[in-house]
Amino acid sequence: MRGVRDLLELETQKIQQILGTFQLITRKAGYHQITLPSLEESSLYTKSLGDYSDIVTKEMFYIQNKSYVLRPEGTAGAIRSYLMNCLLGEKKLWSYCGSMFRHEKPQNQRYREFYQYGIESISNSFTPASDAEVIILAADILTHLNVPSVLHINTLGDEQARKDYNVLLGEYFQGKTLSKLSENRKQAQKFLRILDSKEEEDQQAISSAPSIIDCLGQREKDYFDEVKIILEKFKIPFLHNPRLVRGLDYYSNVCFEFINTKALIGGGRYDNLAGMVGKEKNMGGIGWAAGIDRICELVQLNEKQKIVGIVPVGSNCVEQCMHVARKIRMESEFIVKMKTEGNSVKQHLGYLKNYEPTFIIFIGEEEINSGCLKLKICATAEHVFVPIKEVFDHPAVTLSKFLLN
Ligand code: AMP
């Protein structure tokens, strides 16, 4: 099927490690992970992302007479869950991860099922510092993963500013020839959504479109300036991109994207979202979602896991080897590789070679009789004899003694 992939063991392992970094750093910042369903009612997205957003017009996977969809993003679901499960006004710092589904034209780094890790800071009070903190957290994670990117930020102002901007864009796009999709948006007077277009034929008109700056009230301008000042103080480089509009109706005020050729993380404030999903006008928040598939392609993992290989010398020592393997797995950080099928020592070693083990332990009848196993330190090819009881009783301490610095 186009746009969906099998992620085999190496890729899955990398994704898990990347997710581990996201989880660790966001947990330290006070976020708690929640699990949201992959199926939602389609009305959740038509109400909040907007009828003329790319996602609603052409990318949702509908099921059962269009009543339900496979979730295309996480924020609307998080707010739905907040409104259903939390006391209104209660501040929540949530994270989530999982598959998202969009029926996009499959191409490089754009999939129909892809993986996001996101955070939402849901609260009815906010300050430039709380917004900056959420952006800094994303920047810190990318730095930690050693993924270069450029932070683009903009403000979408309040509802009035967006209305005024829509009028301004309407005047600008009048008389311009646009793609079919953008012409539909023009007809429906959703001029702001034209700025989301990825169609080649719209790009020239979009690049010279007026910016929202002139429609902003003084309060929004000051707020945005304050966020930028904090980012500067924290030495987070950014680019003010006045045409960044983030594609969905629910965004307001500050919005941002971390870009490395394509967007890696995108987010912003959503002060109207609870009002769109329910009727709670006074509940807002800010969050971001990271595209794990794209980040995965840019991450080099150099952290090498320590592996112990075990070789049963003779088929009647397999169970003894299994006991030792089990103990090491349970009581140390080492990964243990061992084949239980009885093969020759040569074949066991051939199997282990692929894993580049730190140590190889040999256990045969001789070793069992003497009470000492043979341990090969692979980096130096040195062999040492170690009491089986020591490895069995204190695997972590005993094996660590032979690690080279
Ligand atoms: P969005 O919810 O559109 O702001 O997306 C947030 C992040 O998810 C983007 O910055 C991308 O990294 C990633 N993303 C969005 N759509 C796709 C897709 N179709 N395939 C892969 N990654 C995606």
pLDDT tens digits along 268-302: 999 989 999 998 877 899 999 999 999 999 998 76
CA end-to-end distance (rounded Å), the chain: 48
pLDDT digits (tens, 9 = 90+) for 330-361: 999 999 999 998 789 999 999 999 899 999 99
pLDDT above 80 (res 304): no
Whether 82 contacts 122, CB under 8 Å? yes
Using the predicted structure, report yes or no on whether residue 81 has a pLDDT greater than 70: yes
Measured on CA atoms in the order 78, 84, 86, 91, is the torsion positive or negative?
positive
Domains 9-157+216-296 and 307-399 share a fold: no
pTM, two decimal places? 0.89
What is 223-249 written as a DSSP string? HHHHHHHHHHHTT--EEE-TT---S-T
**Atom 3 of ligand 1, nearest CA residue:** 266
Which residues face 290 on adjacent strands?
Answer: 117, 265
Top mutation candidate among 110, 257, 273, 286 for ligand 1, by most atoms within 8 Å of CB? 110
Report the topology of domain 307-399: Rossmann fold (3.40.50)
Measure 142 CA to ligand 1 centroid, in angstroms.
Answer: 15
Residue 149 CB neighbours (<10 A): 20
Q: Ligand 1 mean position to 374 CA, how many Å? A: 51
Q: Is 50 in the pocket of ligand 1 (CB under 6 A)?
A: no
Cβ-Cβ contacts under 8 Å for 110 (sequence gap 6 or more): 3, 104, 262
Nearest residue by C-alpha to atom 8 in ligand 1: 291
Longest dimension (CA), the chain: 92
- pLDDT at residue 303 greater than cutoff 80: no
Q: Are residues 31 and 227 in contact, defined by beta-carbon separation less than 8 angstroms?
A: no
CATH code of the domain occupying 9-157+216-296: 3.30.930.10
pLDDT, position 347: 94
110 lines ligand 1 (CB under 6 A): yes
Residues 153-174 have pLDDT tens digits of: 999 999 999 999 999 999 999 9
Spatial CA neighbour of 220 closest among 293, 178, 186, 271: 271
Q: Is 21 in a helix, a strand, or coil?
A: helix
Domains of the chain, by residue range, sit at 9-157+216-296, 307-399
